[in-house]
Amino acid sequence: MEDKQVRAEQLERAMAGEFERLAEEVAQVMNAARDGQIIADTEELARQAHAVFREQMYAKAISLLQTQQEAFSPSAGRRAEQGQAGGIAVSAGLRWQTGVDDGLPDVPTIRV
């Protein structure tokens, strides 16, 4: 059962690039603040950067968990045989297109 769980180390490796972008963005925001206006100039921009990162982390965690669970699913072999390349993935109320080679990570959006 433990093999079906997401580990922090997996998320750390998977999100390393996103974390670097977050750190760069926050540093840039902080360095652009006017003297005497640090909080006013940076708070909302830093919050927005963290919100994007939080959404990316959650999406990656769902994706990793889904992958871990599918690896142990009785139907996992059938899906591989049927050549499941791409399609729509739905999990925890989120929906995203997979298998599209647009150079961007598969990031979920709220299903409408």
Q: Is residue 69 part of a domain?
A: yes
| Whether pTM exceeds 0.75 | no
Those residues with Cβ within 8 angstroms of residue 5's Cβ, 6 or more apart along the chain or in another chain: 65, 68
**Number of separate domains in the chain:** 1
Structural domain containing residue 43? 2-84
What is the length of the chain? 112
Task: Answer whether residue 111 is part of any domain.
Answer: no
Of 1 and 21, which is predicted with more confidence? 21
pLDDT confidence of 78, banded at 50, 70, 90?
Answer: low
- Summarize pLDDT for 30-74 with one digit per residue, the tens: 999 999 999 999 999 999 999 999 999 999 999 999 998 887 766
Q: What is the DSSP letter of 76?
A: H
Domain annotation covers residue 91? no
